[in-house]
Amino acid sequence: MSFLELTEPWGKPSKNIFFPTSNGVQQNAAPVNSRTVQPIVTGASVIALKYADGVMIAADNLASYGSLARFFDVERLTKVGNNTIVGIGGDVSDYQHLQRILEDLEIKESNHGDGYALQPSHIHEYLSRVFYARRNKMDPYWNQAIVAGVDGDEKEPYVAFADLRGNTYTAPAIATGFAIHLALPLLRKVTDDDHWKTLSKERARAAIDDCMRVLYYRDGRSLNKFSVATITADGVDFQTNQSVSSEWAFAEKQYGYGTQEV
Amino acid sequence: MSDGFDPYVQNGGTTIAIAGEGFSLLAGDTRNVNGYNINTRFMPRVHEVGDDLVVGASGFEADALALVKRIQQRIELYHDNHDRKMNAQSCARMVRTLLYGKRFFPYYVYTLVAGLDKENLGEIYSFDPVGSYEREWCRAGGSAANFITPFLDNQVNLHNQYIPGTNGAEPKPHRLLTLEQAMKLVHDAFTSAGERHIEVGDSVLVKIITKDGVETRILPLKRD
């Protein structure tokens, strides 16, 4: 709504339902209708992969306001219980609301007091249903989410995707946003053909760092400050304030990037 | 600000159903896409819904899964209300009402339902997104349907084939396929479609219904 649309009704009582008129009083007040039509403050990519002992998921700490790099301390990985991390990209206000919803879910479940804990597959199913229900009302939570954890009594590595339309899928490696193009090929190289089942923690972390480096180089809405969470049968290892090395000095000598010397 | 949110997206996927003597089969590829990206190489789109009935759904995956879930729930309710196994004909009519119920915000799904009728012949129903349906012997649905249907017309229904030696005077008579013949055709249909259609590939999940129940087979496809 524009400034004029918001301020014009001031001082103009709406009597036109009884006495239709075309001057002075406000015409047909627009129905107050609130729904998400575009994301405003956004988080970028999230990446996740399975490896031999569990799963790893990473997301940077940037929230952008269009092209403005606005907030540098946004934690986009959310812990849900001791066996699940949900990483979310897209609108940050919707993400914060989803955090609340997931927290409420955990509280309700723990109130039963029966010793059962929600599994990542349950969190994923619930989140997908929430997304789909909002999509059906044409008022989506404008996010893409990755649910990562170890599932069930067998503590099977679990990585699954859900987005604003209710689309879902699982795969050994998943990415959202720009990372689909830049990072997923690198992640698939180490996880394809069941290779993830013998992938070590070090190699998995190396793959994550590789991807975050590529994203920092090539994604214009990224930041070299990110969090990585590793989930295994022993629980969640949450590392914040991570960063990757990068080389920019070559640009000095590159025509068009550095200073011109004759 | 006008509506910038499109509630639909095409996730690709193709399904084939063939009915024969003593069997029906429903096959679907397992690739899930979004534009030029592959989301995952294994996301089944052919599901057992109970009572030896199989539903194949392709198009917009979120709607497809929601529809299949609703079918499964309605079949459980049918057991509670009628205390018997649901047959394919009743299930097909029910699927039609589910689809038409959202006539003004459709499930963007091409549905196929497969079962076995009382005479032990395969029973297949195909639907459009808003519930128009009919029983058929053979149907391809989804993104590569236009590639596969002509192939099936010629190989299953023997269109444009004549008995050799009659000089085009006598068309080959219609006959039902055996399971082995149908499986060969399904394999060829998917490999050929995969060569030319970007959304087809990775693997095919086939569900075969006979009087002994439902058997699942997986055929690998090229991953390019």
pLDDT tens for B107-159 read 999 999 999 999 999 999 999 999 999 999 999 999 999 999 999 999 999 99
Average pLDDT value for chain B: 96
Contacts of B66 in chain A (CB under 8 A): 132, 166
Residues ≥6 apart with Cβ < 8 Å to B106:
B63, B99, B129, B130
Q: Do B105 and A165 touch (CB under 8 A)?
A: no
| Closest chain B residue to A135, measured at CA | B7
Q: How many CB pairs under 8 A join A and B?
A: 52
B9 dihedral zone (left: phi>0; alpha: psi -120 to 50; beta): beta
ipTM: 0.93
Residue count (chain A): 262
**Domains in chain B, ordered, with CATH?**
14-221 (3.60.20.10)
Q: Do B62 and A167 touch (CB under 8 A)?
A: yes
Domain residue extents for chain A:
41-241
Other Cβ atoms within 10 Å of B102 Cβ, number = 17
pLDDT at A83 over 90: yes
**Residue A135: in which H helix or E strand, if any?**
helix A120-136
Task: Tell me whether A132 touches chain B (CB under 8 Å).
Answer: yes
**Residue B122: in which H helix or E strand, if any?**
strand B122-127
pLDDT tier at A253, thresholds 50, 70, 90 = confident
Q: What pLDDT, on a 0 to 100 scale, did the predictor assign at position B1?
A: 40
Query: What backbone torsions phi and psi does residue B174 show, to the nearest 5 degrees?
Result: -70, 140
Residue-wise pLDDT for A138-148, tens only, equals 999 999 999 99
Q: Do B5 and A170 touch (CB under 8 A)?
A: no
Q: What pLDDT, on a 0 to 100 scale, did the predictor assign at position A16?
A: 59
pLDDT tier at A58, thresholds 50, 70, 90 = very high
Both tokens assigned to B42: 């294994």
**What are the C-alpha distances in Å from A219 to residues A76, A165, A183, A223, A247?**
17, 24, 11, 9, 15
- Whether residue A36 lies in the annotated active site: yes
Task: Tell me whether A40 touches chain B (CB under 8 Å).
Answer: no
Q: Do A169 and B43 touch (CB under 8 A)?
A: yes
pLDDT at A170 over 60: yes
Q: Over range B186-207, report the average pLDDT.
A: 97
Task: Tell me whether B7 touches chain A (CB under 8 Å).
Answer: yes
Contacts of B43 in chain A (CB under 8 A): 169-170
Contacts of A48 in chain B (CB under 8 A): none
H helix intervals, chain B: 61-82, 88-101, 145-155, 179-196
Measure CB to CB from residue A37 to each of B1, B37, B43 and give the nearest one. Answer: B1
pLDDT at B172 over 70: yes
Q: What pLDDT, on a 0 to 100 scale, did the predictor assign at position B220?
A: 97
Contacts of B34 in chain A (CB under 8 A): 167
Task: Tell me whether B36 touches chain A (CB under 8 Å).
Answer: no
Both tokens assigned to A224: 């070299």
pLDDT at A30 over 60: no
Q: Give the residue among A151, A15, A5, A159 at the shortest CA–CA distance from A87.
A: A159
Q: What pLDDT, on a 0 to 100 scale, did the predictor assign at position B2?
A: 46
Residue-wise pLDDT for A85-121, tens only, equals 999 999 999 999 999 999 999 999 999 999 999 999 9
Residue-wise pLDDT for B74-108, tens only, equals 999 999 999 999 999 999 999 999 999 999 999 99
pLDDT tier at A4, thresholds 50, 70, 90 = confident
Degrees, nearest 5: CA angle A84-B203-B137: 120
Q: Over range B171-176, report the average pLDDT.
A: 94
Query: What backbone torsions phi and psi does residue B23 show, to the nearest 5 degrees?
Result: -155, 160
**What are the C-alpha distances in Å from B73 to residues A105, B50, B61, B100, B164?**
24, 10, 18, 17, 52
Q: Which amino acid is at A148?
A: A
Measure CB to CB from residue B3 to each of A37, A166, A174 and give the nearest one. Answer: A37
Q: Is B200 helix (H, G, I), strand (E, B) or coil?
A: coil
Residues ≥6 apart with Cβ < 8 Å to A131:
A140, A141, A143, A145, A162, A163, A164, A165, A166
| Closest chain A residue to B104, measured at CA | A136
Q: What pLDDT, on a 0 to 100 scale, did the predictor assign at position A231?
A: 98
Q: What pLDDT, on a 0 to 100 scale, did the predictor assign at position A18?
A: 60
> Are B29 and B187 contacting, i.e. CB atoms less than 8 angstroms apart?
no
Contacts of A38 in chain B (CB under 8 A): 1, 4
Q: Is A26 helix (H, G, I), strand (E, B) or coil?
A: coil
Q: Do B39 and A169 touch (CB under 8 A)?
A: yes
Pick the CATH number of A41-241 from 3.40.50.620, 3.60.20.10, 3.30.70.100, 3.40.50.720: 3.60.20.10
> Are A108 and A81 contacting, i.e. CB atoms less than 8 angstroms apart?
no
What's the CA gap between B171 and B188, in Å, rounded?
24
